[in-house]
Amino acid sequence: MIVSPSSAFKVVDVKVICVEALDPKLCSNVLNSKSGGAKDVDLVTLAQYTIDVARDNITNTINLIKSFIIKSGNDPEANAHYETCLMHFDDENETCVLSDIDYTQELLKKGRYGGVNIGATAVRIDVGDCIIGVTPDDPPYPDKSNIPQYADVILHVVKIILIISNYLTQK
């Protein structure tokens, strides 16, 4: 795929991007906090900012899951759930949320914007595998921790990456 330099320097107003977001306020907070409210930040830079935020949120969530693995030591069902969740987030041998976001980052650097969309979608799927389970007959664990809220933040932030990647792949 040939990437025209013009697409890399395309500028779309943060307001226009965030109208499509799941949480427009969170979206403009993420994009404006990094761009300082500048109007002329190109899409690749905004995507980079958003991937950085998503990665921070993923790292925070992994640390939170690890703390719940320790706290749930006396509750085998909870403990097994958090161990499984951790595998979906951070596993050195399998694709997981952390490897997905790093892959997304790598593809952005290479200018492979269609791949950025695929990587961000993989993040969402792997987050869902932790929160709602892998198969429909596997009922979601009634998690009372704040892990689902952290996961929600990741999904919202990654949705912004998807919106930006759609603009980047438009001809």
Nearer to ligand NAG by Cβ, of 114 and 148: the residue is: 148
Nearer to ligand NAG by Cβ, of 40 and 92: the residue is: 92
Question: In whole angstroms, what is the distance from residue 30 CA to residue 21 CA?
Answer: 11
Q: Binding residue for ligand NAG (CB under 6 A) from 28, 50, 57, 165?
A: 57
Nearer to ligand NAG by Cβ, of 57 and 99: the residue is: 57
**What is the distance between the terminal CA atoms of the chain, rounded to a whole angstrom?**
12
Beta bridge partners of 11: 42
- Using CB under 6 A as the binding rule, whether residue 137 contacts ligand NAG is answered as no
b/e sequence 18-40, b meaning 16+ C-beta within 10 Å: beebebeebbbebbbebbeeeee
- Using CB under 6 A as the binding rule, whether residue 26 contacts ligand NAG is answered as no
- Find, among 160, 143, 144, the residue nearest to 33 by Cα: 160
| Beta carbon of residue 96, minimum distance to ligand NAG (angstroms, whole number) | 10
Helix, strand or coil, per DSSP, at residue 42: strand
Name residues whose C-beta falls within 8 Å of residue 6's C-beta, 6 or more positions apart in sequence: none
Size of the site for ligand NAG (CB under 6 A): 9
| Beta carbon of residue 15, minimum distance to ligand NAG (angstroms, whole number) | 20
- Using CB under 6 A as the binding rule, whether residue 150 contacts ligand NAG is answered as yes
- Using CB under 6 A as the binding rule, whether residue 18 contacts ligand NAG is answered as no
Nearer to ligand NAG by Cβ, of 92 and 137: the residue is: 92
Chain residues binding ligand NAG by CB under 6 A are 53, 56-57, 60, 91-93, 150, 153
